[in-house]
């Protein structure tokens, strides 16, 4: 089984992803306003993985919970020391999936994107990623 390691910037938080296959991860860009703010860039980049594939090896992320603006709670976990964003998930995915911040993987190239969400909010200077799916809105 492929195992992927990851950490925050200061490495207080270390984690492992163990997937039956790389196909079990769905990496996507999200151009929504919440992702812009949470990631501090013009899009969010996460890999959706089964909840049980994620294992914390050291450290304890701090959790932030907020309404995403449409009545759904979004949970975000990040390093309390260096501020690196590690993962997020919505209320409806809570028991099943985690959305791992791809840049926190030790090899972020290991899980390339399969699609883009909220393309209607894409920064005007940013081109589309070729050969992946494109959705104007919803991320799930």
Q: Does 68 bind Zn ion (CB under 5 A)?
A: no
* Residue 83 beta carbon to Zn ion: minimum distance, rounded to whole angstroms: 7
Our CB check for Zn ion shows the closer of 82 and 126 to be 82
Which one, 52 or 106, has the nearer CB to Zn ion? 106
Q: What is the 3-state secondary structure (H, E, C) of 68-100?
A: CCCCCEEEEEECCCCCCEEEEEEHHHCCCEEEE
Per CB under 5 A, 82 contacts Zn ion: yes
Beta strand 14-18 with 85-90 is unpaired
Only segment of 43-51, 70-78, 86-94, 95-103 that touches Zn ion (CB under 5 A): 43-51
Token pair for 64: 């932030």
Residue pair 133/114 in contact by the 8 Å Cβ criterion: yes
Question: What distance in Å separates the CA atoms of residue 69 and residue 28, rounded to the nearest whole number?
Answer: 21
Exactly one of 29, 74, 79, 87 binds Zn ion (CB under 5 A); which one? 79
* Contacts to Zn ion by CB under 5 A: 8, 10, 12, 30, 32, 35, 44, 79, 81-82
């Amino acid at each position: 089984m492929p195992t992927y390691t990851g950490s925050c910037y200061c490495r207080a938080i270390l984690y492992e992803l163990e997937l039956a296959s790389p196909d079990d991860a769905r990496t996507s860009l999200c151009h929504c306003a919440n992702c812009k703010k949470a990631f501090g860039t013009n899009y969010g980049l996460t890999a959706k993985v089964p909840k049980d594939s994620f294992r914390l090896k050291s450290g304890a992320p701090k959790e932030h919970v907020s309404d995403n603006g449409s009545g759904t709670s979004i949970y975000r976990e990040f390093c309390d020391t260096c501020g690196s964003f590690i993962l997020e998930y919505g209320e409806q995915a809570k028991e099943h999936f985690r959305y791992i911040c791809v840049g926190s993987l030790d090899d972020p190239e290991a899980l390339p994107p399969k699609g883009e969400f909220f393309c209607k909010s894409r920064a005007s200077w940013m081109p589309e990623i070729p050969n992946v799916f494109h959705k104007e809105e919803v991320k799930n």
